[in-house]
Structure 1
Amino acid sequence: MQDPNTTTTTLTANARTGSSVTISASADTFVATDVGRLIKLHDGYAKINSDGYTNATTVVATVQDNESGVAELAPSYASNTIAFHEGDPSSTGLEHNDRITDSAAAFIDQGFKVNQKVTISGASNGGNNKSTAVLIVQVTADTILFAPSVDLVNETASATITINGALTADSNFSLGAFSATTGYPGATAFFEQRLVFANTSTQPQTIFFSVGGDFENFTAGTDSDDALIYTIGSNQVNVIRYLSSGRSLIVGTSGGEFAVTASGSSEPLTPTNAQIKRQASYGSADIQPVSVGNVTLFVQRARRKLRELVYDYNSDSYLAPDLTLLAEHITESGIKEISYMQEPDNIVWCVLNNGKLVGMTYRREEQVVAWHEHIIGGVSGAATITVSDYSNIATNTTLKITKSNGETITFTCQGAGAGTPDTNKFFHNESNNTTADNIYTAINAHDDFTVANPAAAVVTVEETQRAGNGFITIVSSDTTRLAITDQSHALVESISTIPGSLNEDSLYMVVQRTINGSTKRYVEYLNSFNFGDNILDAYFVDSGLSYDGSAATSLSGLTHLEGEPVTVVANGATHPRKTVSSAAISLDRSTTSAFVGLGYTSTLQTMRLDVGGEEGTSQGKIKRIHDVTLRLFRSIGSKIGSSETLIDLIPFRSSADEMDEALDLFTGDKEVEFRGGYDNDGFIVVLQDDSMPITVLAIYPRLQTFDQ
């Protein structure tokens, strides 16, 4: 609940229980968005009905269970075990307190409390008792003591006396903290057997702790297990972004990181010993962190950095080093979501704003922090060219279209002529739409591309047959008059790690792709990391299906990849790409085991080599790599070179291998000649685009470095 009312406004209920209780305010109190909001009035709670808003001073509500589990705003008790007692039996006229007693000792169980006002009715031998509200100043199980001004009339012997909590106008009320008006909690956690909420629209710095062991009860008090409400005090509004339970309750805010603890290190958190202290001032993004051991990993406010909040015994505080320090380019587009996979490898997975999936292998006890990027198979969106201001498109303006296999074709503006332009050229003339038609004609004439008729001067380019695992990109030399959009890789939108079989966690992803011209979203998961040493178990396609059965020359059930060129691994060997038609593909050879899905390319590029220099560093010096030894583990099929375009296939099959059987996975050293020239960098690129496994343990180059 919010803090109690401090104004003179009062609330009055017309009934103590029921589903249609009218609550009236003495001044404007309610708004239309208060439907569903709680009201604490007298000794109970009422929830405003979905149609209960009448006006700013009147609502209709349903009475809820109170702390005693009774749905009433005020207690009511009728019994013939009640007796009245005169506080001044000798009638001295001195100030005194009348009282009532109950031989059944039920007053506390019935909900009567100090400072309640009650009315008393029932048969008496001298009057009507107290139909006006009287104040309770002390209560025990069998005795209620009233204020000195109260004068009771003795009850008739054995008569039934009724005591009702008075429904008087009361300024001591509270409104619910969680509602459409105030906002709902933006952060939650469990901590020391308490459910914890934080960050509503109107209380962004406030933390709400439930009663210990009673997650639905948020009744605040001073007892050790009572609920507590804590508002962070700071020099600025620090909106709470997340809560993370560990050694203490970590509170990430927009302006810093705080820790909630008890005042004593061995004490449980209570309303009287809670303390919250700032630990860092980096500020947190609105992204749920992950806990790894005794460490909390959180995303900094700008979403570019992943920080490690770890307790430091030397300073008796938390430190938050930057884990992206050596790989800032990886998270340049911003982190959108994170999830932690513990088995079989410790990896923090991140979804970026550009739809990429990146991982951070994290073994802090061994000082291992290694980032890696994963491009999911398939494409999203369309490659387009939008024509404007056609008459000012200069002659020799170019459109360079790069296909999915990395090959680039250039189309050039031949000027403002008419008729038939040269091959791979177009005219700009008449209008934006006509120029778009000319571009369409030029590109569509190329065998590698299929282009739809332009609409609104927009040309959409598709590959006739996707040639690689990439996607179409276009570079325009005049981005003002020939504006472009690129296709992109498949976009990962959300992730979650779920414990899987074989003692491995599974990373589930929501992936967006363009399939057969339509936007589709699929839930997919990463397959087993530990596939063993059998090539038939090595699953390395995306959004794929597997087949295991009798010999087949066609595979069906591929509705989700309709119209897409798919990668096929048949009986542990590569197979030509096929395009899905009517949810099926035809194979060039029969197979009893297959994986069919979207291919992707895995690329390793070393840093610039710094070896071989006789006069100090070899950085910036000309060098030439002659050959390379690759140390591999359970690998097959890969390429090596100095760049992704200057690259050679590494042979794995020898004359001793059966030509109609799949190769065994290779573990050991592969010595290969290196096709590279003389350069200053000395990059080594290892590439795998055959949907086969590859694990590179080490690279041993042999090279010559020229000091002069």
Structure 2
Amino acid sequence: MGKFRTIQTALNAGEISPKLRGRTDIPRYQHGLELCRNAIPMVWGGVQRMPGTRFVAEASGPVVRLIDFPVSIDGAMAGYVLELGDRKLRVYYNGTQIKNGAAPYEVATPYQSAILPEIRYTASANVLYFFHPTKRPKRFYRKDSDTNWILEDVPFTYFPYMRPPNSSGIKITPSATSGNITLTADKAWFIADHIGLTLVVNGGICTITAVTDSMHASASVDAGTPISAPDSTGRRLHDVVTFTYTPPEIPVAFGFNVDIKALYDGKIPDFSTSYAEGGYSGNSDDYLTVTPSNPLPDGVTVTRVREINQLSGTDPDPDWKEQAWSDFRGWPACATFHEQRMIAAGSPTYPTYEWGSSSGDPLDFTIGTLDSDGWAFNLSAASTSIYHLLGVDCIATFAGDKELTVRGSSDSPITPSNVQVKNRTPHGTGLVRPVQIGGEIYFVPPSGLKLRGFGYQYSSDSYVAPDVAVIADHLVADGNGISQISYAREPYSLLWAVTNGGALLTLTLDKEQEVTAWAAHGTDDSRHISITSVPGQDGSDQVWFAVKRLINGQWRTYVEMLDVGLQTDSSVVASGAGLVEISGLGHLENCLVDVKADGFYCGRKTVIGGKIALENPAATIEAGLPYHTTIKDLPLELANPGQSIQGAATAVGKIRVRLFETQGCTVNGEQIPFRRFPNINAPVGVFSGDKEIFNLGRGTDPSQTQVSIEQDLPFSLTVLAIIKEVTVNG
């Protein structure tokens, strides 16, 4: 066939599966790699050595989970990272661990290490909400400083009440309408676990205090807080009223109590009331005036003035309801925010239900009929539990067997009487928290062996969820499935994934440029267990890792942060005039580390006493664990349709590797010179251009035409293209 000059102009298809070795006809083969290890495929076509990580702190225990928590402080976004450990939580910010004196700042939690992968969370208005099906939801927020955070039960003002399973046909009769009463069921129903549950019976709220037998229980009626009135009696509102700051006159009736709620600047202000007999709107009705107890700015809106009823009577109630969430019935497994409501779903008792709070009040889940009331919908199309919710243009709902959308009809908000539930794709998801990237939501099915991108496809006018891991399924399978994912938009547009086997993977994504490229990272002595990303102060995203490292024969868990200016892992950096040593390396005691000083490579040295000594003073020192970068192309194939050199005797006489701002590498084991004369006493500068290598190999073995570009020193490497001069016989 003669002589050819081939060029691989892009390497941004990343590492591709061995199963695709026969697909030499597809563009991914022409732009793909056999190995992309500790290197990142770039959207613009090249492959760049993976940056190093900066050591931040040793984790609180061997099992931790990192969680992102962006907070707005004084108008600026601050990216906090939370480390959830065994019944404790630590806080990190801007590359440092928050401390209380010399010790890490910690907050006690109810979450033992075994359930950390099951924790779901969502955030709104600088408050982070934690959900788990067996734990009462918690909220976490920064009170007034980095060493004053609050973790508390979510103070729901009203829970949803629903008819519990297997209670059809059962009537409950109260013995009285107030005080301590007895509840009688006409069929066996009550069990000891019902103690503490709250019921709505004949319109009133009562709490079970004891169970006598299967048909009888003791309860106390919730009487609320009486209104202060001249005759010291309670009053009831005729209706629900919404009003702004100017106090209105509200009609009331004798004998009941009211609860007044308002929301201003995320807080519920206090109100006082005054009562007058007669004279309401020109008639003799009694009325109530509601006034803020503390001064509030004009325009504050009272979102609800609600009655709390006593029981209306002692007749048998066939329509009684039970508090849907409790320690007995379980709690929502997940939540999100959408259309000024908190949306919760997936409790153990109601696994396919979604609940929406009252509009504008995320803590009020009273189910009603008004457009602003809360709602509960059974997504019967989801035959298994709901695991995740994302509030986008709809409520994207991820169940164990399928993906659904929930939205109002005709572009209207969801209300108790306006909802559309659509079954979109039939794959299902597991515990891994999905991430949104542009118009798609990426999720991991229960097997962990796929990564699907859920979104609307205009060409088919339908939702699709293709597997984007199929092109590199060996990386996911070798890691025993994906256990966590996170997305960092800047600077590389990377979806990061941690596998159950401790591998670290990246997926370079850019839909506009049609780039989907996988790579694998890490060393034999590292196991990544958690990852997250938060906004950084410079506009880029900070990527954080929890990683186990083998130190002196023992696995230790560290919290580290990606640093694009570093070329070593778990590193420490020191700067100052005339430094002759670098300290703070106790976490790498007795380890061999790479050392750079003022840009010079000082070799690999052993950490003794947490320090490394230098032979010459320096102003900037980096010391950290080495890692090896390998970029290896696929067996050669011609790009011309209808022609192939597969199986032909092939010789590569010369190759050129096109580099960008590179300080060193080897090509097929041959060290490539980068030092330039006469700058022999200066650090190696960056090089951009072509490096030539001769007599790569010959024969019918496809591997003899491959190029392996490697870097095991702490210096930059970026490969733009690979050019080969090829002779083909046969």
TM-score where L is the length of structure 2:
0.63
1:184 matched residue in structure 2: 331
2:689 matched residue in structure 1: 668
- The CA distance in 1 between the partners of 2:552 and 2:221, in whole Å, is 53
User: Is 1:610 equivalent to 2:637 in the alignment?
Assistant: yes
In the TM superposition, residue 318 of structure 1 has moved relative to its aligned partner by 0.9
1:142 matched residue in structure 2: 285
In the TM superposition, residue 23 of structure 1 has moved relative to its aligned partner by 6.4
User: Is 1:311 equivalent to 2:456 in the alignment?
Assistant: yes
2:95 matched residue in structure 1: none
How do residues 313-328 of structure 1 correspond to structure 2 at under 5 angstroms? 313-328=458-473
1:337 matched residue in structure 2: 484
1:629 matched residue in structure 2: 656
How do residues 492-507 of structure 1 correspond to structure 2 at under 5 angstroms? 492-507=528-543
**Would the aligned equivalents of 2:579 and 2:618 in 1 still touch at CA under 8 Å?**
yes
In the TM superposition, residue 183 of structure 1 has moved relative to its aligned partner by 2.1
- The CA distance in 2 between the partners of 1:590 and 1:32, in whole Å, is 74
2:404 matched residue in structure 1: 258
**SS of match in other structure, 2:476:** coil
Instruction: Give the unaligned 5+ runs of structure 1.
Output: 65-69, 83-102, 114-139, 145-162, 378-470, 472-488, 529-537, 642-646
**Residue by residue, what CA displacement relative to the aligned partner does 1:385-414 show, whole Å, maximum 9, x if unpaired?**
xxxxxxxxxxxxxxxxxxxxxxxxxxxxxx
1:159 matched residue in structure 2: none
Higher relative contact order (CA 8 A, sep 6+): 2
How do residues 356-435 of structure 1 correspond to structure 2 at under 5 angstroms? 356-375=503-522, 377=523
- The CA distance in 1 between the partners of 2:626 and 2:641, in whole Å, is 44
- The CA distance in 2 between the partners of 1:141 and 1:692, in whole Å, is 87
- The CA distance in 2 between the partners of 1:687 and 1:658, in whole Å, is 23
**Would the aligned equivalents of 1:261 and 1:276 in 2 still touch at CA under 8 Å?**
yes
In the TM superposition, residue 315 of structure 1 has moved relative to its aligned partner by 4.1
- The CA distance in 1 between the partners of 2:666 and 2:424, in whole Å, is 49
How do residues 453-602 of structure 1 correspond to structure 2 at under 5 angstroms? 471=524, 489-528=525-564, 538-602=565-629
**Would the aligned equivalents of 2:660 and 2:717 in 1 still touch at CA under 8 Å?**
yes
Question: Structure 1 or 2: larger strand share?
Answer: 2
Among residues 400, 403, 424, which one is paired with 1:279 in the alignment? Answer: 424
2:392 matched residue in structure 1: 246
**SS of match in other structure, 1:328:** helix
- The CA distance in 2 between the partners of 1:37 and 1:563, in whole Å, is 58
Structure 1 pair 650/199, CA: closer, same or farther in 2 (3 Å)?
same
In the TM superposition, residue 620 of structure 1 has moved relative to its aligned partner by 2.4
In the TM superposition, residue 518 of structure 1 has moved relative to its aligned partner by 2.9
**Residue by residue, what CA displacement relative to the aligned partner does 1:620-641 show, whole Å, maximum 9, x if unpaired?**
2232323322222221111111
Residues paired across the two proteins, number: 503
User: Is 1:702 equivalent to 2:729 in the alignment?
Assistant: no
- The CA distance in 2 between the partners of 1:257 and 1:516, in whole Å, is 46
User: Is 1:297 equivalent to 2:297 in the alignment?
Assistant: no
Among residues 498, 513, 524, which one is paired with 1:351 in the alignment? Answer: 498
2:676 matched residue in structure 1: 654
Structure 1 pair 605/33, CA: closer, same or farther in 2 (3 Å)?
farther
**Would the aligned equivalents of 1:344 and 1:503 in 2 still touch at CA under 8 Å?**
no
User: Is 1:105 equivalent to 2:251 in the alignment?
Assistant: yes
2:265 matched residue in structure 1: none
Among residues 364, 372, 395, which one is paired with 1:225 in the alignment? Answer: 372
1:131 matched residue in structure 2: none
1:150 matched residue in structure 2: none
Instruction: Give the unaligned 5+ runs of structure 2.
Output: 1-159, 235-248, 260-282, 288-308
**SS of match in other structure, 1:365:** coil
Structure 1 pair 35/594, CA: closer, same or farther in 2 (3 Å)?
farther
- The CA distance in 1 between the partners of 2:213 and 2:610, in whole Å, is 59
Structure 2 letter corresponding to 1:697: L
**Would the aligned equivalents of 1:105 and 1:141 in 2 still touch at CA under 8 Å?**
no
- The CA distance in 1 between the partners of 2:476 and 2:563, in whole Å, is 24
**Would the aligned equivalents of 1:490 and 1:511 in 2 still touch at CA under 8 Å?**
yes
- The CA distance in 2 between the partners of 1:35 and 1:525, in whole Å, is 48
2:707 matched residue in structure 1: 684
In the TM superposition, residue 165 of structure 1 has moved relative to its aligned partner by 5.4
**Would the aligned equivalents of 1:279 and 1:319 in 2 still touch at CA under 8 Å?**
yes
**Would the aligned equivalents of 1:612 and 1:703 in 2 still touch at CA under 8 Å?**
no
- The CA distance in 1 between the partners of 2:192 and 2:459, in whole Å, is 54
How do residues 12-27 of structure 1 correspond to structure 2 at under 5 angstroms? 12=174, 16=178, 24-26=183-185
1:391 matched residue in structure 2: none
**Would the aligned equivalents of 1:257 and 1:278 in 2 still touch at CA under 8 Å?**
yes
Structure 1 letter corresponding to 2:535: P
**Residue by residue, what CA displacement relative to the aligned partner does 1:348-384 show, whole Å, maximum 9, x if unpaired?**
1111111111111111122111111111x5xxxxxxx
- The CA distance in 2 between the partners of 1:612 and 1:7, in whole Å, is 73
2:151 matched residue in structure 1: none
Per mean C-alpha deviation after superposition, the further-off stretch among 216-225 and 31-40 is 31-40
**SS of match in other structure, 1:331:** helix
**4+ residue segments displaced more than 6 Å:** 52-56, 59-62, 75-78, 612-615
**Residue by residue, what CA displacement relative to the aligned partner does 1:427-476 show, whole Å, maximum 9, x if unpaired?**
xxxxxxxxxxxxxxxxxxxxxxxxxxxxxxxxxxxxxxxxxxxx4xxxxx
How do residues 29-44 of structure 1 correspond to structure 2 at under 5 angstroms? 29=189, 31=191, 33=193, 37-43=197-203
**SS of match in other structure, 2:512:** helix
**Residue by residue, what CA displacement relative to the aligned partner does 1:507-559 show, whole Å, maximum 9, x if unpaired?**
1111112323333211111113xxxxxxxxx3111111101112233221111
**SS of match in other structure, 2:587:** helix
**SS of match in other structure, 1:560:** helix
Structure 1 letter corresponding to 2:665: S
Structure 1 pair 636/178, CA: closer, same or farther in 2 (3 Å)?
same
1:10 matched residue in structure 2: 172
Structure 2 letter corresponding to 1:658: I
2:38 matched residue in structure 1: none
Structure 1 pair 13/491, CA: closer, same or farther in 2 (3 Å)?
farther
Structure 1 pair 11/195, CA: closer, same or farther in 2 (3 Å)?
farther
2:383 matched residue in structure 1: 237
TM-score where L is the length of structure 1:
0.64
1:195 matched residue in structure 2: 342
**Would the aligned equivalents of 2:204 and 2:310 in 1 still touch at CA under 8 Å?**
no
Task: Provide the alpha-carbon RMSD of the alignment.
Answer: 3.5
- The CA distance in 2 between the partners of 1:663 and 1:334, in whole Å, is 41
**Would the aligned equivalents of 2:579 and 2:617 in 1 still touch at CA under 8 Å?**
yes
